[in-house]
Amino acid sequence: MILTVTLNPSIDVSYPLEHLKIDTVNRVKNVRKTAGGKGLNVSRVIHMLDHDLTATGFIGGYFGKWLENQLDRDGIAHDFLPIDAETRSSIAMLHDGGKQTEILEAGPTITPEDAQKFLDHFDKLLDQADLLTISGSMPQGLPEDYYTQMIAHAGAKNVKVLLDTSGATLKSALEAPVKPLLIKPNEEELAGLLNREVDKTDYAALKQDLQDPIFDGVDWIVVSLGSAGAFVKHQDKFYHAAIPKIQVVNPVGSGDSTLAGLAMGIHDGKSDEDIMKTAMTTGMLNTMEAETGFVNPTKFDTYFAKVTIENY
């Protein structure tokens, strides 16, 4: 099965408002609350496409219980480590014709004891997993190399790791002796890693960028390009995955849905071409739905057939 990690899950609250009024009351009728945090978006998409998974991370308090109930309702298997502190919520206000204003809680601070307890818990889950996805930023209290430690634990058990994070945590993972199998930086994250500007429209330059020694030992690098698809390196091969023009309803969570597609394709032992096509399809299907980290499986085959892969 696929193990998905969301260390800092969240109740994602979405408030659609015609106009956001500052320094006064805003009333809202249609509130939507979902089990969120990037790894839970990944989990939902994997589940909707009928693959076995277990979601894990830290969970706490009444909000944590609510979140677990939501996952139970949706039939998503989970095995989180309970902690004393309350799980966070994140608010997104969608207002004024396409604007999105977010208020994100930092969430609980993980104690050193819980950090160690989780690694023990994680080790047991790894015994049943063949592929692991790690998504998002870490909660407070954990050392910068915590994901790196988790990748080493997975490596010791021959579990493949797909890592979607940024900044110092991503850098730490790339510098460690045991590397993730796949990373999924966007333009901004790539620029941060390389310490220089990156032009995502210049594929020849991207091809050079992905050969930087910082990526040595990482099998797959998937640079997602929004409506332009993705530029991909797999070992010494380079590809551009092109996607058709589609009607976008809500692009939030497309990167997470792409990671879900990559996880399923790699888990199923598909060809490079089909792995990329699966990932582009899950990304696209997510943009076509109002809900975040949500795909309509009945549209899968139609859009899969519309993705084209060119060697670069």
Q: With respect to ligand ATP, which residue has the nearer C-beta, 70 or 258? A: 258
Give the largest Cα separation in the chain, rounded. Answer: 57
Three-state DSSP class for residue 273: helix
- Does position 253 bind ligand ATP by CB under 6 A? yes
140 near ligand ATP, judged by CB under 6 A? no
Closest separation in Å from C-beta 213 to ligand ATP: 24
Q: Kindly tell me which of 28 and 248 has the beta carbon lying closer to ligand ATP.
A: 248
Contact between 243 and ligand ATP per CB under 6 A = yes
Figure out which of the listed residues 162, 230, 232, 260 binds ligand ATP, where binding follows CB under 6 A: 230
- Please tell me whether residue 229 binds ligand ATP under the rule CB under 6 A: yes
Q: Does residue 192 touch ligand ATP according to CB under 6 A?
A: no
Does position 87 interact with ligand ATP (CB under 6 A)? The reply is no
Q: How far is the CB of 218 from ligand ATP (least distance, A)?
A: 17
Instruction: Scan residues 267-306 and list those touching ligand ATP (CB under 6 A).
Output: 280, 283-284, 287
Question: Considering the rule CB under 6 A, would residue 45 count as an interface residue with ligand ATP?
Answer: no
Asked if 255 is part of the footprint of ligand ATP (rule: CB under 6 A), the reply reads: yes
Work out how close the CB of 187 gets to ligand ATP at its nearest, in angstroms, rounded to a whole number: 8
Q: Is 155 in the site for ligand ATP (CB under 6 A)?
A: no
Position among 20, 106, 204, 248 found at the interface with ligand ATP (CB under 6 A): 248
DSSP readout, the chain? -EEEE-SS-EEEEEEEESSPPTTS----S--EEEEESHHHHHHHHHHHTT--EEEESEEEHHHHHHHHHHHHHHT--B-PEEESSPPEEEEEEEETTTEEEEEE---PBPPHHHHHHHHHHHHHHHTT-SEEEEESPPPBTS-TTHHHHHHHHHHHTT-EEEEE--HHHHHHHHHSSSPPSEE---HHHHHHHHTS---TT-HHHHHHHTTSGGGTT-SEEEEE-GGG-EEEEETTEEEEEE------S--TTHHHHHHHHHHHHHHTT--HHHHHHHHHHHHHHHHTSSSTT---GGGHHHHHTT-EEEE-
Least distance to ligand ATP, CB of residue 185, Å: 8
For residue 224, state whether it binds ligand ATP (rule: CB under 6 A): yes
Quick one: which segment of 92-100, 120-128, 231-239, 242-250 binds ligand ATP (CB under 6 A)? Answer: 242-250
Q: Which of 159, 206, 192, 193 is nearest to 178 (CA)?
A: 159
The stretch near ligand ATP (CB under 6 A) out of 85-93, 113-121, 125-133, 225-233 is: 225-233
Residues that bind ligand ATP (CB under 6 A): 186, 224-227, 229-230, 243, 246, 248, 251-255, 258, 280, 283-284, 287
